[in-house]
A and B are shown apart, each in its own frame.
Chain A
Amino acid sequence: MSEPSPISAGGRPRVRVLHLYDRYLNIYADRGNMQVLTARGAWRGIDVEVRGLEPGEHFTPGEHDLIYVGGGQDRDQQMIAERMSEDLGPAIKAAVEEGTALLAVCGGYQLLGSHYLDTTGVHQPGVGLFDLSTEAGDGRLIGNVAIEAELPAIGARAASTTTIAGFENHAGRTSLGASARPLGSVLHGNGNDGRSGFEGCRLHHAIGTYLHGPLLPRNPELADWLLAAALAHAHGTDAALLIDQVGTVPPAVAALERRALDTSVARARAERG
C-alpha cells in the first residue's frame, strides 16, 4: 500500500492521473475520458490532476492513483509498442498489483496483453499485464456495442452490475488466457473477438476494453467506479465511499448521461440484434 497522497490545499481529496504517451495514443476521443475524470472530480469535490508521459520517460509505481492508456493508429501503435513494454512494462504491472486503478481503451488495451500480431504481420510485444493476446483478423469489427459488466466492490463500496455502451472499431481479435477475467459479457456487438461473447478484461482495479465513444461520458457508473478506485489508492479503501458522498453531478448532466447511454444501447441493439 502506498503512502496516502496529501489532501490538496483547500482540504479536498486529490487523485493523480497518469496519461501514458498522451500525445500519440489519443485516436478515439481519449481526451474526452480525461475531461470526464477532471470535471466529474470537480463536481464531486475531488481534485484530479492529470499528467502525461513522453516516450523514453519512466514513472515510479505508486506515485499515481490512476493510469490511462488510449489507442493509436496502427502505425503509431507499432512505434510505441516496444517502448512501452520495455520501458514501462514492469512499472505498470507493479502499479496495478499495489492497487493503482487503470483504464486502457482499444489500442491501449491490446498493448497491455502479451502480444499483438497486427494487420501487416508485425509482432508487437505487449506489456503482459493482462493474460490475453491479440491477432488481427479479416476485416474490422465496427459498430455500436453494449455489454453487461460487473464492477467489483472497493472496500465498503458495494459491487454493481451495469450496462456499458460504446463504439468498437478494431481489426484485432483478442483471446483471453486461462487466468483472465473478462470485463463483461456482450449484449449486442462483437467485443473481444466476435465469438466468445466476452468483452474486455479486468484485473484488480485495472480495466481494458475495446469500447470508446468516448467511454466515460456515456458510462458515468464506470467513471465513478474508476474515481472511487483512485480515491481508495490515494487515501485508503474507505475513501472509495467519498465518490458517493461529496458533491453532486449537476442534474442536467445526469439527465444527458442517461439519454446518451440509452441511445447508445438502443443503437447497438438495433444494429447487432
Chain B
Amino acid sequence: MASPAHTGTARRLGVPLALARPVAAAARLVSRATGREGGALPGKVLLSLAPSALATMARRGRARGRRIVLVSATNGKTTMTAMLAEMLAADGLDVVHNVTGANLRSGIATTMLQAGRRGDVCVLETDEATLPLVAPDLRPDMIVLGNLFRDQLDRFGELEVLADRWRDTLAALPGEDVTVVYNADDPLIAELVEEHVTRCAADGIVATVVPFGLDDPDVAQEGLPHAADSRFCRRCGHPLEYAHSWVGHLGAWTCPGCGMTRPEPVVAATSVELDGLAATRLQVEVPGEPEALQLRLPIPGLYNVYNAVGAIAAASTLGVPGAVLVPALAAAAPAFGRFERIPVPGPNGTNGTITLLLVKNPTGLNEVIRTLVASGVDVTATLFALNDGIADGRDTSWIWDADVEPLFERAGAMVVTGERAAEFGLRAAYGGLDPEGVLYEPDLEQAMYRVLERAREFTEHGHAYALVTYTAMLKMRAIIAAQGWARSYWANEPTTRRRRGSRR
C-alpha cells in the first residue's frame, strides 16, 4: 500500500495562518464571481490549508477581548442570531455575524476570516450538527440553545443522538468559562443543561445558566400536535405531562416519573398578542429591569416570540439594557425568506406581493401554517415548492407529519412545484384538498407565474404566498432577482456590520 505520509503530514501540520489567509481571500473572490451564495468556500479553503485556523482565530480574538457567542437550534436560529446581533450592535458593540447558509464549519471560518482583527463579539449562527464540531475550537463565552425538533433524519440520524452530542459538547468545555442560555420549555434541552450543571457542581464549579421560556396560557396550543417529538422523559422514560404547550413539544412540562420539571424561566414572555402577519406584541420579564419590557416585533408567529425571548436572554446577560434592546428589536427585519414580502408589479400598474415562507420540518411547517391561518389573510393563491436536496432533507416524508389540513381548507386550490412536486400534490389530495384543485407545475418559475395569476384573478389585493424548502427558496430568490422585483440575496446581505454610535 502506498504511504500517504507526505500529504498526510502536510495536512496535519497545515500551513501557517498568514500564508493560508491570502489563498482563502482569493477563494472568496472566486466564490463571489461564480455567485455561490452563502460564502462557505473561502473558509473551506482556509481549513484545508490550516486545519487549526478556527482555534487560532478564536484564540487571537480572545486575547484582544473579543467574545464568541454560538446560537444553535433546529428552528429559528437565523432569526435569533440576527436579533441578538442587532441588539448588541445597538449597544455600540462591533459585531461579527455570519449570514444565513454559512452556519457550517466552513461558513463560520469564512466569517471569522473576513472579520480579521475586527470585532468586539462574534455572534455565530451554528448548525445543530456543527455545534459539537466547532465549539471545542472556538471555546465560546456563551452558547444559546434554542430548541431541538425532528428535522432531516436522513442527515442527523435521530433526535436523541443530537441531544447526546450537545450534552457531550458542554461536557468538553471548561464549565467556569461558558454561559449557557437555553430554552427551559424544551425538555430535551433542559435535561442536558441540568446534566451540565450537575457535572460542574461535582467539579466544584457553579455553572452559569440562563433559562428562558413562555408564560402566557392564553396563546397555548389545544394539545400537543402530531409532530411533537419529545413525549418521553429523557432521564427516566416516563411520558411527560404538559400544563401548557406553545410550539411543538415546547411548553410547561413535568415528568410524573422522576419529578423533573421545567426550570423556572429567568427571562420569560408573560403576555403575547399576535397581530396578524404584521406584528407581535409581547411583555418580557428580564432580571435587573425595574419593569417588564413592552415590545413590538415587526414579524409574526409564536415561534418568533421564542426567538425574541432567547435573544433577549442572551443580550441582557451580555449587559444590553432594556432601553437599548426594545427599539433594536422593533426595527428587526424578517430574516431571509421568513415571511419576507416581495412587491410584484402587475399589469396596468397594479401591485401585488409574493410572501416567501421557508419550511423545512414538521414543526416549522406547522407554525408557518398556524400563523398564516390565524392572521386571517386570504390564502387562495398559495404555492408549495418541495425539493429534496441535502439542504432540504432528502427524505420528503416530513410533509405528512405536519398539520397542513387547515391550509387546504382555506386555500381551496394550490400550485405544487419543485423536484418532488407530485409528492406534495398527493399530500394535498389525501389531506382533503379537491384533487382538481391541485395545480401541478414542476418548473419553479412557471409555478410562480401561475400563483401570481391566481392571486390577481381570485384575491382582492393580488397577494400570493409561497411555502418553499431551502434550495427551492434560493432558486425562487434568484428568479425574483432576475425579474428585478427584489435585490439578490447577495446584495441584501451585509458582509460586515456597520458600527453604530457608541453608547458607552
Cβ–Cβ contact B422 & A259, under 8 A: yes
Cβ–Cβ contact B397 & A214, under 8 A: yes
Which of B150, B158, B388, B440 is within 8 Å of A74, CB to CB? B158
Chain A: minimal CB distance from B99 (Å): 29
Cβ–Cβ contact A217 & B423, under 8 A: yes
Given contacts A35-B431, A75-B232, 8 further A-B contacts (CB under 8 A): A75-B237, A79-B232, A79-B237, A217-B430, A218-B423, A218-B426, A257-B426, A259-B422
Cβ–Cβ contact B154 & A169, under 8 A: yes
Q: Of the 9-residue stretches A23-31, A92-100, A185-193, which lies at the interface with chain B?
A: A23-31
Which of B395, B397, B400, B425 is within 8 Å of A256, CB to CB? B425
Q: What total of A-B pairs shows CB separation below 8 Å?
A: 102
Which of A26, A169, A260 is within 8 Å of B153, CB to CB? A169
Which chain A residues (172-228) contact chain B, with CB distance < 8 Å?
Answer: 212-214, 217-218
Task: Give the nearest-CB partner of B229 in chain A.
Answer: A73
Which chain B residues (148-163) contact chain A, with CB distance < 8 Å?
Answer: 150, 153-154, 157-160
Offer 20 A-B interface pairs, CB within 8 angstroms, sorted by A.
A23-B231, A28-B397, A29-B399, A32-B397, A32-B430, A39-B429, A73-B158, A74-B158, A169-B153, A214-B400, A217-B423, A218-B426, A250-B429, A250-B435, A256-B440, A260-B423, A260-B426, A263-B420, A263-B423, A267-B388
Which of B231, B397, B438 is within 8 Å of A252, CB to CB? B438
Cβ–Cβ contact A253 & B232, under 8 A: no
- Residues on A with C-beta less than 8 A from B394 are 142-144, 167
- Residues on B with C-beta less than 8 A from A29 are 397-401
- Residues on B with C-beta less than 8 A from A253 are 426, 429, 435
Which chain B residues (396-451) contact chain A, with CB distance < 8 Å?
Answer: 396-401, 419-423, 425-427, 429-431, 435-436, 438, 440
Is B226 positioned at the interface, with any CB of A under 8 Å from its CB? yes
Chain A: minimal CB distance from B390 (Å): 11
Cβ–Cβ contact A32 & B400, under 8 A: yes
Which of A26, A35, A79, A142 is within 8 Å of B430, CB to CB? A35
Interface flags, A42-70, vs B, CB<8A=1, else 0: 00000000000000000000000000000
Residues of chain A at the chain B interface (Cβ within 8 Å)? 23-24, 26-29, 31-32, 35-36, 39, 73-76, 79, 140, 142-144, 167, 169, 212-214, 217-218, 250, 252-253, 255-257, 259-260, 263, 267
Which chain B residues (131-178) contact chain A, with CB distance < 8 Å?
Answer: 150, 153-154, 157-160
Q: Provide the bound-state CA to CA distance between A76 and B160, in Å.
A: 10
Cβ–Cβ contact B154 & A31, under 8 A: no
Q: Provide the bound-state CA to CA distance between A20 and B159, in Å.
A: 23
- Residues on B with C-beta less than 8 A from A27 are 150, 153
Which chain B residues (380-399) contact chain A, with CB distance < 8 Å?
Answer: 388, 394-399
Cβ–Cβ contact A167 & B154, under 8 A: yes
Chain A: minimal CB distance from B207 (Å): 26
Cβ–Cβ contact B422 & A263, under 8 A: yes
Q: Provide the bound-state CA to CA distance between A27 and B398, in Å.
A: 9
Cβ–Cβ contact B426 & A263, under 8 A: no
Task: Give the nearest-CB partner of B395 in chain A.
Answer: A167
Q: Pick the most buried of B226, B394, B422: most chain A CB atoms within 10 A of its CB.
A: B422
Provided the pairs A74-B158, A256-B429, A263-B422 are in contact, do residues A213 and B397 lie with their beta carbons within 8 angstroms? Answer: yes
Cβ–Cβ contact B430 & A36, under 8 A: yes
- Residues on B with C-beta less than 8 A from A23 are 231
Provided the pairs A29-B400, A79-B237 are in contact, do residues A217 and B426 lie with their beta carbons within 8 angstroms? Answer: yes
Q: Provide the bound-state CA to CA distance between A169 and B237, in Å.
A: 24
Provided the pairs A24-B231, A31-B400, A140-B157 are in contact, do residues A252 and B237 lie with their beta carbons within 8 angstroms? Answer: no
Cβ–Cβ contact B429 & A252, under 8 A: yes
Cβ–Cβ contact B420 & A256, under 8 A: no
Q: Provide the bound-state CA to CA distance between A253 and B436, in Å.
A: 9
Q: Provide the bound-state CA to CA distance between A119 and B438, in Å.
A: 42
- Residues on B with C-beta less than 8 A from A35 are 400, 430-431
- Residues on B with C-beta less than 8 A from A260 are 420, 422-423, 425-426
- Residues on A with C-beta less than 8 A from B422 are 256-257, 259-260, 263
- Residues on B with C-beta less than 8 A from A74 are 158, 160
Q: Provide the bound-state CA to CA distance between A111 and B400, in Å.
A: 23
- Residues on B with C-beta less than 8 A from A28 are 153, 395, 397
Which chain B residues (26-56) contact chain A, with CB distance < 8 Å?
Answer: none
Chain B: minimal CB distance from A250 (Å): 4
Task: Give the nearest-CB partner of B405 in chain A.
Answer: A35
Task: Give the nearest-CB partner of B398 in chain A.
Answer: A29
Chain A: minimal CB distance from B491 (Å): 34
Interface flags, B282-304, vs A, CB<8A=1, else 0: 00000000000000000000000
- Residues on B with C-beta less than 8 A from A144 are 394
Q: Provide the bound-state CA to CA distance between A141 and B291, in Å.
A: 54
Q: Provide the bound-state CA to CA distance between A142 and B393, in Å.
A: 12
Chain B: minimal CB distance from A170 (Å): 11
In the complex, the 4 A-B pairs of residues with the closest C-beta atoms, listed nearest first:
A32-B400, A29-B400, A259-B422, A29-B397
Q: Provide the bound-state CA to CA distance between A24 and B154, in Å.
A: 20
- Residues on B with C-beta less than 8 A from A214 are 397, 400
Q: Provide the bound-state CA to CA distance between A76 and B238, in Å.
A: 10
Q: Provide the bound-state CA to CA distance between A263 and B232, in Å.
A: 36
Interface flags, B91-135, vs A, CB<8A=1, else 0: 000000000000000000000000000000000000000000000
Q: Pick the most buried of A142, A213, A256, A263: most chain B CB atoms within 10 A of its CB.
A: A256
Provided the pairs A36-B430, A212-B397, A267-B388 are in contact, do residues A142 and B154 lie with their beta carbons within 8 angstroms? Answer: yes
Q: Provide the bound-state CA to CA distance between A259 and B423, in Å.
A: 8
Q: Provide the bound-state CA to CA distance between A257 and B435, in Å.
A: 12
- Residues on B with C-beta less than 8 A from A79 are 232, 237
Q: Provide the bound-state CA to CA distance between A263 and B420, in Å.
A: 7
Which of A39, A252, A267 is within 8 Å of B436, CB to CB? A252
